[in-house]
Amino acid sequence: MRLPDDDEIYDVDQTYLGPPGYYIGRLRYRMIAVTPVVVLVGFAFLVKTGVGFSLLSVALTVLVALRLSQWIVNKTTHERPIGVLVTTFWHELTAVRFPTCGQRARRPSAFRRRSTTVGAEHPLPTARRRRWRSYANASAAAREEA
Amino acid sequence: MFGFTKGGARRLAVATTSRTPSSTAAKWALSRVAGHVTFSDKRMVAWYLLEPQRWSFRTVADGEQLIEAHAAQVAELVGRTVYGRITTRPYAVQSWAEAAWNNSPAPTEGFAKILERDQIQLASRQQSDKLVYFGIDLGSRSTTIDLTSRVLPDVARRELEAIQHRLDEVDEVMAGPGVDAIPAVGNDMAWLLARSFALGCPAPTQDTIEETHWDANALHEFSGTVHWSAEPLAQSVRIDATTGERPITRHVVILTVGRMGELRIPEVDEPWIAKTDKLPFPAEWMFRVEVRSPEDTSKEMNKLSDRVLAQREHYLDDHGKQPPRQLARQADRASQVEDEQRSGFDGLATRTRGWYRIAVSAPTQEEALARAKVVQKIYKPAIKIEREFDQFRLAREFVPMEPLANTGHTRHLPILKFAAGVPAATAEVGDKRGVLIGYTSGFAERPVTWDPWFGPEVVEGSGLVPIVGGLGAGKSFLAGGVVYKTGAQGVPWTVLDPSGRLGALADLPEFRGVAAAINLLQSEPGALNPYALVPEPQLAWFRSEPDPKHAFTLAKQAAQSQRRDLMTDTLRWCLPAEDQDNPEVLSVLRDAVSRAEARPYSTAHGVMMALQNDPDTDRVVASRVLRRLHESAERELSRLFFATPQTGNHGEALSDRRMTFFSLKGLAQLDESKPKSEWSYDELMSRPVMSLAAWSALRSVYRADFNERKGMFLDEVHEITAVSTGRTLVQKVATDTRKHDIAALVSTQNAANVIGQNINNFVGAAFVGKTTDDEAQAHNCRLLGLPTGVGYEAEFATLSRRSRRSEATGTPREFIFRDGMGGEDGKGGVEKIRIDYSNHERLTAALNTTADPAKRRALELVPGEVPDEGAA
């Protein structure tokens, strides 16, 4: 038997040609929705970083925002709407990672905060040092108890 | 948000289990299992295990019927979500071997070795059985119940009772035709959970599980031994499991079913979900399908129609531009779907919304990605299979009760298209107690084990098994393996193989001392005494009859007339061609045979005495016949028929061995194209010799205990059925097999030899090999119970195909096997199978009849001369 499906019906063309009578080109509805959001985020970035609004910074932000919106719109389709892209992004951030802590001996020393400085005083430990033999004795005692 | 762990907890987990990762990092939605219902904090899902459905060799109408029945059942679940989960269970090699061993009447040491080799082969091929689970959403739990269940441990049971009628309703739908599902309780549920939590990991050995309820702590048994993790934007999910003896790591890639073209199932395409069975590695499925009510669909279609119209108007009216054609098509289709929702009450117009995922796994990410590519390839071009980001959450969907990862790639399928995936389709043929004969080679690869006595003993069917195929189809090869394996089980076999190729089996160490190869042509004169070949019935055979004595007397009379027929027919062949059809001569001969005594110990000598002494017959004719018979009694082949009171066979056994291989090496092959008058003496004699040899094989079968399993293999039956007594023999075999527990394998080049005897109703299992002749192909269809004229005929010619460039000796021996084990139409499963004895070296060497110039006799005569491979 012939088995068509309904997926095609849901993939309705989403092109905006401009206000009635004024053809401005073929714009995707998604682009119209995404661009202002990205531009606003860009402006927020300008404020937060203290760059401020100048002709150059605003123009660059708008250009970058336009390019970014285009990229987002190209990546999304009827099959993968923007909502899915956002969810996926969030899920990627929050997925469980393979535990690496405790599996390595120590963190790389280059990024460790120094606990001493060259030329500082380095006193000998005052507490009674436990020698290797005391560890060995303790484990032997534990074995016997078991 | 679940699954997100603070660093402290993670460090603690690592510290407690050192290098084995713990699952404390992952929180699962599944909180409890009661019977076949799984619970999360909010929802309940009832799980069912679907009955496997045969798909190969279904007719189009039959396939459509199955799809419609399945669709109609699922359509009854309107408003509910159906979860599907397809996984595999490793073929129970050990339990099969135990069953095969217990099924042996007197297993020999050789059989233990055979089983060992077969088990190794099965284990190395990673054979598995497919399991299809359907979970039906039972709705959400009220907050009150949720809270009280945390205080009272018995709440889950009471809750189950409360929703019992809802569950009963779903149970009934799932048990309906087309779905045939049973609730997944105990073992089945445990398997679903084990395979889901340790997704893609090698299957653990499963003990029989008695519990049917698991609470959150008990579920830790499944979830506590695995750790799922994924790196940002990873292409796969890493799953570390410690379920087995050693920690295992698997990388799982999740694929999502994307846009699909128009499919034509069953005419052109295969069931789209079951297609992954063809893969050489296991693939798991998970789908979630919402069965939508007609009102919902109508509403949505109207909304979509409005959008389409608005967009059209935007192009046409607002801007005077030509709209894309797709819009017109979409408007049409939306109104058609909307209309379908208003008409028809069979539920087949129901629409679904669903998400379909496939998981493939491998020890490394590269391998897993390569496997994912293979999956994408087998679905090309009709179905697009996508690999998306968010692999971690997509993989979690495979665990019951986990939420949908994201709504991307939503599939809007009519219920018929969903049902046409036929998730439960499988290739199952053969029983699970017999010997391994090969693997299915059509839809999916599954081991084929077959017990030739399953028909007579369990199904109460016939033990006659026709093996049909053209020259070189591998008929003797197939039968040889069955004889070898079941013979080692301790079953007595009698084999009539005119060419004598199977005689090599008698020399195998498994049969040392219990087998004999006898060339009947070299026997003493009178060895094929027709009277001695029809066994004398015994009273014990008729104990189950209402009047045993009467039945016994009737059988004795029947045996006597059988002997007379056999003698008349045999002596007729000893006459010159012109006399064979002369009514006068035949009448004289028949009279003489009738007067002579026809006991098992009688001889042709008695007939000749009757011819000589009867005063009433035409003396001229009688003495002419007598002279011809005297001549025949002295000639090389025909003297085998003429026993005297002193010499020849008088009913005693030709061989006292358990396995007897009769051959007729040296017998002339008949040329059918020549007229009968031009046949040479050797050609003329070939048919009666063959027919009597078959009778002699049959008699040796009857010698064994009535209730004991016996086997008989008759090769080249088309030669035997060319004479009337041969046809009688095949009929007798067909009717007697069940009563005497005989497995009678008969090989022939044309199925008409079996069907023509009007014994098709007695046939149980059947094998059909490569056949190129059109007429023979049609007969094959009839033998297998397949309809003719719908394209199955061409299938027979494509069997055992080999590459033109291949230099490997031996063709793959493929057959279409009907197991005769009941089922929907009573004829059992039909599958394409490939015979495989490659792990039994001695057997394959004994059965190898391929010409090999390196073995030619001239080379054997030169001592120490080894054929130079370079020169060849």
* Chain A partners within 8 Å of B311 (Cβ): 12-15
Q: Where are the alpha helices (DSSP H) in B318-452?
A: 319, 325-342, 365-379, 391-396, 415-419
- In the predicted model, is pLDDT for residue B727 greater than 60? yes
Name which of A55-64, B7-16, B262-271, B472-481 the model is least confident about.
Answer: B7-16
Backbone angles phi, psi at B259, to 5 degrees: -60, 145
Name which of B37-51, B284-298, B778-792 the model is least confident about.
Answer: B778-792
Cβ neighbours of residue A81 closer than 8 Å, sequence gap 6 or more: B407, B408
Q: Which residue has the higher pLDDT, B862 or B765?
A: B765
Percent of chain B scored above 90 by pLDDT?
31
Q: Within 13 Å, how many C-alpha atoms sit on residue B86's CB side?
A: 27
CA distance, residue A71 to nearest chain B CA (Å): 17
Cβ neighbours of residue B444 closer than 8 Å, sequence gap 6 or more: B130, B277, B278, B426, B427
Q: Do B420 and A1 touch (CB under 8 A)?
A: yes
Name which of B211-225, B284-298, B682-696 the model is least confident about.
Answer: B682-696
**Helices first, then strands: H and E counts in chain B:** 31, 28
How far apart, in whole angstroms, are the C-alpha atoms of residue B265 and residue B416?
A: 10
What ipTM does this complex have? 0.71
* Chain B partners within 8 Å of A91 (Cβ): 390, 392-393, 405-406
Q: Which residue has the higher pLDDT, B26 or B621?
A: B621
What's the pLDDT at B207?
67
Q: Which residue has the higher pLDDT, B800 or A48?
A: A48
Q: Which two tokens stand for residue B594?
A: 């009738």
CB B492 within 8 A of CB B708: yes
* Chain B partners within 8 Å of A88 (Cβ): 388-390, 406, 408
How far apart, in whole angstroms, are the C-alpha atoms of residue B536 and residue B598?
A: 11
Chain A / chain B CB contacts < 8 angstroms = 162
Question: What's the whole-number mean pLDDT along residues B61-77?
Answer: 91
How far apart, in whole angstroms, are the C-alpha atoms of residue B287 and residue B775?
A: 46
CA distance, residue B221 to nearest chain A CA (Å): 20
CA distance, residue A70 to nearest chain B CA (Å): 20
Q: Do A13 and B406 touch (CB under 8 A)?
A: no
What's the pLDDT at B304?
93
- In the predicted model, is pLDDT for residue B7 greater than 80? no
Q: Is the peptide bond before B324 cis (omega within 30 degrees of 0)?
A: no
Task: Give me the residue label for tokens 């739908």.
Answer: B173
Q: Do B307 and A88 touch (CB under 8 A)?
A: no
Q: Do B11 and A102 touch (CB under 8 A)?
A: yes
Q: What is the pLDDT of residues A18-63, one digit of tens each?
A: 999 999 999 999 999 999 999 999 999 999 999 989 999 999 999 9
Give the residue among B289, B358, B826, B308 at the shortest CA–CA distance from A14.
B308
Question: What's the whole-number mean pLDDT along residues B695-718?
Answer: 83
Q: DSSP E strands: which ranges in B203-283?
A: 213-214, 226-229, 237-241, 248-260, 263-264
Task: Give me the residue label for tokens 């007397």.
Answer: B553
Cβ neighbours of residue B547 closer than 8 Å, sequence gap 6 or more: none
What's the pLDDT at B598?
86
Give the residue among B17, B73, B69 at the shortest CA–CA distance from B48.
B73
What's the pLDDT at B26?
66
How far apart, in whole angstroms, are the C-alpha atoms of residue A4 and residue B296?
A: 20
Q: Do A96 and B259 touch (CB under 8 A)?
A: no
Backbone angles phi, psi at B346, to 5 degrees: -85, 0
Q: What is the pLDDT of residues B136-192, one digit of tens each?
A: 998 887 788 778 877 887 887 777 677 788 889 999 999 988 888 999 998 899 999
* Chain A partners within 8 Å of B413 (Cβ): 5-6
Question: What's the whole-number mean pLDDT along residues B585-602?
Answer: 88
CA distance, residue A55 to nearest chain B CA (Å): 35
Task: For A25, name the nearest residue in chain B, comparing CA atoms only.
Answer: B319
Task: For A103, name the nearest residue in chain B, comparing CA atoms only.
Answer: B19
Q: Is the peptide bond before B202 cis (omega within 30 degrees of 0)?
A: no
Q: Which residue has the higher pLDDT, B12 or B175?
A: B175
Among B21, B410, B416, beta carbon nearest to A99 = B21
* Chain A partners within 8 Å of B255 (Cβ): none
Q: Within 13 Å, how many C-alpha atoms sit on residue B269's CB side?
A: 25
What average pLDDT does chain B have?
A: 84
Question: What's the whole-number mean pLDDT along residues B97-114?
Answer: 91
Cβ neighbours of residue B193 closer than 8 Å, sequence gap 6 or more: B30, B33, B214, B219, B222, B400
How far apart, in whole angstroms, are the C-alpha atoms of residue B199 and residue B192?
A: 10
How far apart, in whole angstroms, are the C-alpha atoms of residue B6 and residue B753?
A: 77
CB B698 within 8 A of CB B733: yes
How far apart, in whole angstroms, are the C-alpha atoms of residue B457 and residue B103?
A: 12
The DSSP-derived string for B108-124 is -HHHHHHHHHHHHHHHH
What's the pLDDT at A63?
97
CA distance, residue A82 to nearest chain B CA (Å): 10
Task: For A16, name the nearest residue in chain B, comparing CA atoms only.
Answer: B314
Q: What is the pLDDT of residues B734-763, one digit of tens each?
A: 888 888 888 999 998 888 777 666 655 656
Percent of chain B scored above 70 by pLDDT?
90
- In the predicted model, is pLDDT for residue B777 greater than 70? yes
Task: For B257, name the nearest residue in chain A, comparing CA atoms only.
Answer: A79
- In the predicted model, is pLDDT for residue B527 greater than 90? no
- In the predicted model, is pLDDT for residue B865 greater than 60? no
How far apart, in whole angstroms, are the C-alpha atoms of residue B596 and residue B612?
A: 12
Q: What is the pLDDT of residues B602-617, one digit of tens each?
A: 888 888 888 888 777 7
Name which of A128-142, B135-149, B822-836 the model is least confident about.
Answer: A128-142
Q: Do A95 and B337 touch (CB under 8 A)?
A: no
Question: What's the whole-number mean pLDDT along residues B537-543?
Answer: 83
Q: Which residue has the higher pLDDT, B428 or B397?
A: B397
How far apart, in whole angstroms, are the C-alpha atoms of residue B770 and residue B839?
A: 23
What's the pLDDT at B6?
35
Task: For A93, name the nearest residue in chain B, comparing CA atoms only.
Answer: B232
Q: Do B229 and A9 touch (CB under 8 A)?
A: no
Q: Do B307 and A98 touch (CB under 8 A)?
A: no
What's the pLDDT at A135?
61
User: In three state form, how does the secondary structure of A4-58 look?
Assistant: CCCHHHHCCCCEECCCCCCCCCCEEHHHHHHHHHHHHHHHHHHHHHCCCCCHHHH
Q: Do A98 and B21 touch (CB under 8 A)?
A: yes
Question: What's the whole-number mean pLDDT along residues B687-695?
Answer: 83
* Chain B partners within 8 Å of A7 (Cβ): 259-260, 411-412
Among A14, A19, A91, beta carbon nearest to B390 = A91
CA distance, residue B560 to nearest chain A CA (Å): 60
Name which of B214-223, B467-476, B726-735, B823-832 the model is least confident about.
Answer: B823-832
Q: For B507-522, give one letter per residue: b (16+ CB within 10 A) or e.
A: ebebbeebbbbbebbe
Among B262, B390, B405, beta carbon nearest to A2 = B262
Question: What's the whole-number mean pLDDT along residues B37-55?
Answer: 89
How far apart, in whole angstroms, are the C-alpha atoms of residue B696 and residue B600?
A: 12
A94 at interface of B, judged by CB pairs closer than 8 A: yes
Give the residue among B592, B587, B586 at the shortest CA–CA distance from B608.
B592
Among A3, A79, A95, beta carbon nearest to B392 = A95
A144 at interface of B, judged by CB pairs closer than 8 A: no
* Chain A partners within 8 Å of B388 (Cβ): 80, 88
Q: Would you tell me the crossing angle of helices B681-702 and B724-740 to the nearest 10 degrees?
A: 20
CA distance, residue B63 to nearest chain A CA (Å): 10
Q: Which two tokens stand for residue B254?
A: 């999740």
Query: B interface mutation test: which of A2, A9, A82 has the most B CBs within 10 A?
Result: A9
- In the predicted model, is pLDDT for residue A14 greater than 50? yes
A101 at interface of B, judged by CB pairs closer than 8 A: yes
Among B386, B409, B412, beta carbon nearest to A5 = B412
Q: Which residue has the higher pLDDT, A35 or B280?
A: A35
What's the pLDDT at A16?
94
* Chain A partners within 8 Å of B10 (Cβ): 99, 101
What's the pLDDT at A73?
92
Q: Do B267 and A1 touch (CB under 8 A)?
A: yes
Task: Give me the residue label for tokens 């070296």.
Answer: B841
How far apart, in whole angstroms, are the C-alpha atoms of residue B360 and residue A76?
A: 26
- In the predicted model, is pLDDT for residue A70 greater than 90? yes
Confidence band of B48 (pLDDT split at 50, 70, 90): very high
* Chain B partners within 8 Å of A80 (Cβ): 388, 408-409
Q: With a threshold of 0.90, does the pTM exceed it? A: no
Among B7, B19, B324, beta carbon nearest to A103 = B19
Q: DSSP E strands: which ranges in B715-820?
A: 742-748, 766-768, 814-818
Question: What's the whole-number mean pLDDT along residues B309-334?
Answer: 93
SS3 B183: strand
* Chain A partners within 8 Å of B329 (Cβ): 8
Element (H, E) at B412: strand B411-414
Among B21, B259, B386, beta carbon nearest to A7 = B259
| Stated length of chain B | 872
Question: What's the whole-number mean pLDDT along residues B188-201?
Answer: 92
* Chain A partners within 8 Å of B354 (Cβ): none
- In the predicted model, is pLDDT for residue B1 greater than 70? no
